[in-house]
Structure 1
Amino acid sequence: MVHEIPTAAVEELRRSNPSEFIEQLQAAAQRHSTWPWAAALALVISLPLYLIPLLVLGPLVYWLYQRDLAARRVVAFYDFEGQPEGQFTQLIEAAEQLRQSHANWIITGSGAVVTTAQHKVNSGASAVVSRRSAAVTMSGPPELVTNIAVPSLHCGDHSLFLLPDRVLMKRGRNFADVPYHELQAVVSDVRFHEGGPVPRDSQQVGTTWQYVNVKGGPDRRYKANPQIPIMHYGRINFTTRTGLNLQWDCSQPTSARQLAQAVATYVSPPALPN
């Protein structure tokens, strides 16, 4: 049986490490725009009068748009003040390698295969997992305006952003952060029984069958019993003492190792966003 992987909610992480920067991002994310309502009202007023009032109301709508845009953004410009930027550059380069991998996933649930019957119908695997496709970008959250590339890991509405001075987390409209010294990034090699498309950049290390017998061969009782490739993937487990638990799989184990090492050895510079 697959159980959801427990991880602390972003709201819990924010309460355990409050900061003014996070409160600003939180306020920006939760602010609602007023300009669409003003634009709709301007059109309703203008249409019966042959659009003449729109010439007057249009600049007002544009001003409201710009005001809303500014209110939904937090500006953070990073200045290392002469400190070497090599470590953060390594972090960016490692994230770029992860981004170029053919496939990335978030592991959302897992369960041990215990009985012989479970072993037979799960291609001989020792555990089963559920996962979702994930992506890597080099841009931060839309609420943040900054002067640097921001390595970002995304899956659905859940994101992890690697800033120079902190690790930023977002889920939906909620933000939290943790310092780098509290983030553990542990990498491991996994042998995955791939029932989906095979990533073109990963290494196949064996084969099995969808249904196996006790000796590991194909179970002849099943007429439809396709072979399944066993792939070599890399897995990064991001954890914190406050309850974050994020398991990230990558089709390229080397890329996973590089990012995990870059995060594990990263030391935040003394500079904070200006």
Structure 2
Amino acid sequence: MGLSVRKSVRVGPFRFNLSNSGIGVSAGIKGLRVGTGPRGNYIHMGLGGLNYRHTLSSTRPAPTIAPSRPVRPSSTALEPQSATHEALQEIDSGEIGLMVDSSSQALIEELNDKRKRLRLWPFALALTVGAFLLGSNKQLEPWLLNSVLITGGLLTTATYYWDLLRKTTVMLYDIEPEFAANVEQMHAAFEAVRGCQSTWHLQAQGKVLDRKYHAGASHLVTRRSVSLTFKTPPYVRTNIATPSIPVGRQTLYFFPDKVLVFEANGVGAVSYKNLRVDISTTNFIEDGAVPKDSQVVSTTWKFVNKKGGPDRRFKNNRQLPVVRYEEVQFSSDTGLLERIQMSCVGRTAGLARAIAGIAKVKNQS
């Protein structure tokens, strides 16, 4: 897909507009809108020709810086240690609060602060329902009960949009032409990786102790099928498409200047200059369906003897394909460690080059 940068984004009835003079905010309905200054509830990010601007007025607390051949069906969960393999070790990132650099600190504080804010509209709704029930019990006139419902409905609606505005961070990118090519390259490379028929997040792995019970594999892994999408993080509005990769309890969002890491307990960030992308191929013993875009390099048996042939002691000992897959590991010194596996080989190199290109631009800025 081509790079598309919009000049405005919506947060409920509010529209944030990007112009040469700054950020404008307007609100209203079709045919009637009221606008305000360049001040508003937003964060304007920067890289090279992009400038970081912070005009949010909320009070924030001080920051606390705190080559194998696996075999495993994608639907199987973690197992306890057995006599045939070692205990499986999770492939997982570290503490989300440590994933931050100096250039991202203000943004991460704002995102985490807003995620903690209490939503008020359920209280307004409960107050409306309570007032209506109380009025019904006291047998108030119908027009009074209708007035309670109308007033309460308007209050709940207004509170809902107020909550949405309080909890949402707007990130507007004004990308200069010379940098747009780098971002477009990353988006195109991500789109190519999305084209793989199957993608998995690798969750854990462990060394095999007795290969005859595991089709001759040297390691076991657990994995889960995931979908790569262009998706906006929760309570974030931005004017540019955002590649995202779900990796277990976390999701990686590839913005033009950094990777934001979202999980239920908070948000972290990894700059592209600190992001390591390591690519490898693996011969995977597949006991599920073989994706159409993958290459079968050999076959083995579910239970093998010392010579690699079928172990005749086991009934229904079926033959399994050995498939060549590609794996990419995202890591950083701040604790990021996630690995995904693709059914097609050769596409993630373009994504790694694009990320390296963005990191190079940032180092020069």
TM-score (norm 1): 0.90
Rg (Cα) greater in structure: 2
CA–CA separation in structure 1 for the residues paired with 2:244 and 2:258: 13
CA–CA separation in structure 2 for the residues paired with 1:17 and 1:131: 34
Work out whether residues 104 and 251 of structure 1, in 8 Å CA contact, stay in contact via their aligned partners in 2. yes
* Partner residue of 2:106 out of 2, 17, 20: 20
Change (3 A) 1:105 1:147: same
Aligned residue number for residue 180 of structure 1? 272
Q: Does 1:138 align with 2:233?
A: no
| Cα distance per residue 1:169-195 (max 9 Å; x no partner) | 112131111211110101111111112
* Partner residue of 2:116 out of 21, 30, 34: 30
| Cα distance per residue 1:233-262 (max 9 Å; x no partner) | 110011112221111111112233322332
Q: Does 1:258 align with 2:353?
A: no
Aligned residue number for residue 101 of structure 1? 196
RMSD over aligned Cα, in angstroms? 2.0
Aligned residue number for residue 201 of structure 1? 293
CA–CA separation in structure 2 for the residues paired with 1:178 and 1:167: 5
Work out whether residues 135 and 155 of structure 1, in 8 Å CA contact, stay in contact via their aligned partners in 2. no
Work out whether residues 209 and 225 of structure 1, in 8 Å CA contact, stay in contact via their aligned partners in 2. yes
- Which secondary structure state, in structure 2, belongs to the residue aligned with residue 211 of structure 1? coil
Aligned residue number for residue 28 of structure 2? none
Q: Structure 1, unaligned stretches of length 5 or more?
A: none
Work out whether residues 160 and 168 of structure 1, in 8 Å CA contact, stay in contact via their aligned partners in 2. yes
| Cα distance per residue 1:10-51 (max 9 Å; x no partner) | 123248986110111112222231102211321232252554
User: How many residue pairs get matched?
Assistant: 267
Q: What amino acid is the match of 1:35?
A: W
| Cα distance per residue 1:89-129 (max 9 Å; x no partner) | 1111111222232211111111222x4xx111111112111
Q: Structure 2, unaligned stretches of length 5 or more?
A: 1-85
Aligned residue number for residue 302 of structure 2? 210
Structure (1/2) with the larger helix percentage: 1
Identity of aligned residues (%): 35
* Partner residue of 1:9 out of 95, 109, 114: 95
* Partner residue of 1:56 out of 151, 175, 179: 151
Aligned residue number for residue 168 of structure 1? 260
TM-score (norm 2): 0.69
Aligned residue number for residue 187 of structure 2? 92
| Cα distance per residue 1:187-231 (max 9 Å; x no partner) | 111111112232232222221111111111111110121211111
Change (3 A) 1:84 1:13: closer
CA–CA separation in structure 2 for the residues paired with 1:205 and 1:261: 27
Q: What amino acid is the match of 1:54?
A: L
